[in-house]
Amino acid sequence: MNALAGVDGPNALSRTDATLRQLMGALHRVLSRRGQQAVADALPWPELWRRASEARGEVRFPEPLAEACVQAYSLAFQLLDSAEENGIIQQRRQAEDAGDLGEESGSWLQNFQLLEARGCDPTTIAAGLRRIRIEPVLTAHPTEAKRRTVLEHQRRLYRLLVELENTMWTRAERADLERELEAWVERLLRTGEIYLQKPSLSDERRMVVHHLRNILPNAIPRVHRSLRAAWREMGFDPALLEGAAAMPRIVFGNWVGGDRDGHPFVTADFTAETLVLFRREALSFVGEYLEDLAARLSLSENRQPTPPGLHAALQLWSEALGEEGHQAILRNPEEPWRQYANLMRAALPPPEGEAAPPPGRFRSPAELLERLDALAEWLRSVGADRLVTVDLEPVAALVRTIGFHLATVDVRQNSAFHDKAIAQLLTLAGTEAGADYAEWPLDRRRAWLDAELSSRRPLARPEDTEDEARAMFEIHRTLDVHKDHFGTEGLGALIVSMTRSAEDLLAVYVLAREGGLLDRQGRIPLNVVPLFETIEDLQRAPGIMDDYLGHPIVQASLDCQAELAGREERVQQVMVGYSDSGKDGGIVASMWGLYRAMDALAEAGRKHGVRLVFFHGRGGTIGRGAGPTHRFVRALPARTVQSDMRFTVQGESIRHHYANLATAAHQLELFTACALGTSLSDDVRPPDPPGLAEAMEALKVESRKAYRALLEHEGFVAFFERATPIDAIESSRIGSRPARRPGQRSLDSLRAIPWVFAWNQSRFILPGWFGLGTGLEALSRARPKDFEALVRAKDESSRWAPLHYLISNAATAFAMTDTELMGRYAELAQELAQCDALLARLLEEHDRTRAMLERFYHGPLAETRPGIHRAAVRRSEALRPLHLRQIELLRAWRVADEAERGQLTPSLLRTINAIAAGLGSTG
């Protein structure tokens, strides 16, 4: 669970307690002043705001005060999040100041130390840094339950906490800050939290732009600063890190406006609008940096000689730019370096326009980087090396990150949607049996696709198309127009959800041809990316990619893409889904299935001379692939993190990890540093322990068997729909996309997000642990030596990384389960004949899992994982009255008539929001 991540350091816990005491005291005073003393006295963690002698029994919300109590508790959990985040960051600052970051898992310093111990010299490490490319991809999956206004208020409050950490304030100044902090607490208390209407796509896009514009790019200089500090700590040659190009590259991707899988509101027009908006924001941001650079470079030619060539360059460029160029020169006479920066800003291209920019304007970010390099040399020629490092390199780093596009926009669609589009095109073309394309056997599909891809003529006229065929024509036409005007830098991948065969990928080429996206040689300029999601799809994935990568048009297209990107090697992305594989087979089968699939996929890429870049579709909870960043990267198979890595950042994960500069920089450091450490360690990484693959396979089989037996148990679906608030969640307004995929209402159509969300709300937390206990117990009986080999290690450094990641994640999810509350929620399904049997099965597996985890950790979890236990207990005790309130409301809501349900719905949604805040996650 996100709520328990990173809180186990003793210094972090101490700092968290101090900050939470301050915040809860403020909330207690605000409530008391508003005449809500009874609500104030019911707040959680009374030891923070009451005298220790004033004992308090179990809290239950009395009906007249219930709504106010739910709201107060929801805010209390938000304050706890801020306190924990501040505690972690302050602990890290103290460690950095004391030179102890080598002890911090995943830090630059720790990775440098590990690499040096494995025989890597500084030159090798520096070369590896230049190859690293990390790309967080922001999505708008419906997992963020809080309104944007509330999130903005939380950010302001957090920044105030950081200010209060400063010791420079006088007593009066600190008192003013504390009063301002109290005002922000009151503001949050008075602000409605739940969405009264579903957020629109534009709302979600505004949130993404906020992070892409105001937070993420500004976090990168902190990542670089931390890297350089660790480099100095190691005593490595600083000359190896000279220049912005010496830094690892961090760029950003985006799905909002491009992800149309099951989202009827994502149109081609909205995608086009998003591409232009992103370009406008990027150019505005780069312009601000260049304006600041010009102000900094106020070097007078009367104080130092003007380098040869600078005046000539100024004259030629200003003439090419016309009036704007002349104005840029006139503004700062006798300051040629500043004039050159002025010209760079004047030469930025317009966000919209024709394919050819006006004379003198930049056509690409690469041209701007060349001009920055020239300016750097002119500064160095007069000995201003420090100004290059301090003033110019941050501008180059920004341009390398956001270019002129801010973030790439991926386009995702489901393979079944493509099938319908092709069937419609075949029908329009008069092909007999074309409407049955989805039922064609694969050999017939392949023969038809190959024949079509040898031709440049379209199947139908655009004006004749409708529905799916029309939608595919329009999106590919939109991408083609953008490519012709601005190149491919802002365009991401074409992702095919539910890829079942190579034919599903080749179908995209035919559809792209209809929209004009293929070039004259029939090549596609964008990567066509499979998304392998279910357990079966992951098992088939290596064979599918072997087939796909061997196709001549794919080979030619990869050559084309390499040429457009200016790289020598061919690169193919493969997206692997953690959510649906977990929903399909349980956490063990999902994680081991992903491990084996990625290992085999990488080998398929090497066979065809193609480097595979894995795109990790992780969610925000353990049941959907979340977990500590450093452990996640280190647990990936050898040679699957060669330099590039993409990963989704979904919903509330954006808030948890990227809402504030310090936290965002830390997360980016963990991904980047661990990617470096993993990629450079592959050649010296020891092979997987003997027999471990067979043991893990046996663990997967037994675990999945137990998980599937539960899902296929008679009455399970009805139990799930009654014993969890899934029906209320589907009525909520937390995202613009539907909670289910189109089609028949079933578990299969339900998306993984609400599946995990519902189990979390009822404290079963089932997707995060169920099946592990059975799997480990079966392994201990059938293969006792293998089992002992798995559990023998007593610390993280001596455990096999993939297994440690699996077990520690499951143990963290398990820590937030509550068997007493499971029983309370199960009472909502008491009328079902199978209710008692299903609950008994869940509780038996819970006991079994606890016993197996304690064997793995060599003792009770409360003693062997004290930090996680303490954080879980703190949250669990405060969550209990919210759960009891939710159960009461669910019982009344489900039997109410339409009018009564309308009155109860806001109260029910508030409990969902408050519990999500307490757990630190939705789905």
Choice among 141, 551, 657, 883 that is catalytic? 141
- Of 479, 491, 596, 587, give the one whose Cα is nearest residue 537: 596
Q: Which run of H or of E encompasses 818?
A: none
Q: How far apart are CA 883 and CA 520, in angstroms?
A: 62
- Of 426, 590, 391, give the one whose Cα is nearest residue 514: 426
* In 60-117, alpha helices (H): 66-98, 108-117
Are 113 and 106 in contact by the 8 Å Cβ rule? The answer is no
Q: How far apart are CA 282 and CA 285, in angstroms?
A: 5
Distances (CA, A) of 403 to 19, 135, 365, 367: 39, 14, 5, 11
Q: Strand pairing partners for 253?
A: 137, 408
Are 914 and 70 in contact by the 8 Å Cβ rule? The answer is yes
Residue whose tokens read 């675990």: 703
Q: How far apart are CA 520 and CA 480, in angstroms?
A: 13
Burial of 26 (0-12, 13-18, 19+ CB in 10 A): buried
408-414 and 491-497 strand pairing: parallel
Which tokens in the block code for residue 220?
């990168």
Q: Strand pairing partners for 136?
A: 647
For the chain, the residue count is 923
Choice among 146, 224, 482, 583 that is catalytic? 583
Which tokens in the block code for residue 660?
């504030």
Distances (CA, A) of 286 to 137, 401, 887: 21, 11, 52
Q: How many CB atoms lie within 10 A of CB 535?
A: 24
Beta-strand (E) ranges in 630-720?
644-650
Output DSSP code: residue 733: -
Residue whose tokens read 């963290």: 812
Burial of 198 (0-12, 13-18, 19+ CB in 10 A): middle
Q: Which run of H or of E encompasses 385?
A: helix 385-387
Question: What angle separates helix 535-549 from helix 502-514, to the nearest 10 degrees?
Answer: 60
Q: How far apart are CA 836 and CA 454, in angstroms?
A: 61
Known catalytic membership, residue 656: no
Q: How far apart are CA 110 and CA 99, in angstroms?
A: 11
Collapsing DSSP to helix, strand or coil, 148 comes out as helix
> Please, which residues have CB within 8 angstroms of residue 387's CB and are 6 or more apart in sequence?
296, 297, 299, 379
* Share of the chain residues as helix, strand and coil, in percent rounded to the nearest 5: 65, 5, 30
Known catalytic membership, residue 224: no
* In 132-215, alpha helices (H): 148-164, 171-190, 201-210
Q: Which run of H or of E encompasses 307?
A: none
Which tokens in the block code for residue 811?
């143990």
Q: How far apart are CA 248 and CA 245, in angstroms?
A: 8
Which tokens in the block code for residue 451?
């024949």
Q: Strand pairing partners for 75?
A: none
* In 724-818, alpha helices (H): 726-730, 752-761, 772-782, 784-791, 801-815
Burial of 903 (0-12, 13-18, 19+ CB in 10 A): exposed
> Please, which residues have CB within 8 angstroms of residue 22's CB and are 6 or more apart in sequence?
164, 178, 181
Q: How far apart are CA 806 and CA 394, in angstroms?
A: 39
CA 686 to chain CA mean position, Å? 30
**Which residues are identified as catalytic?**
141, 583
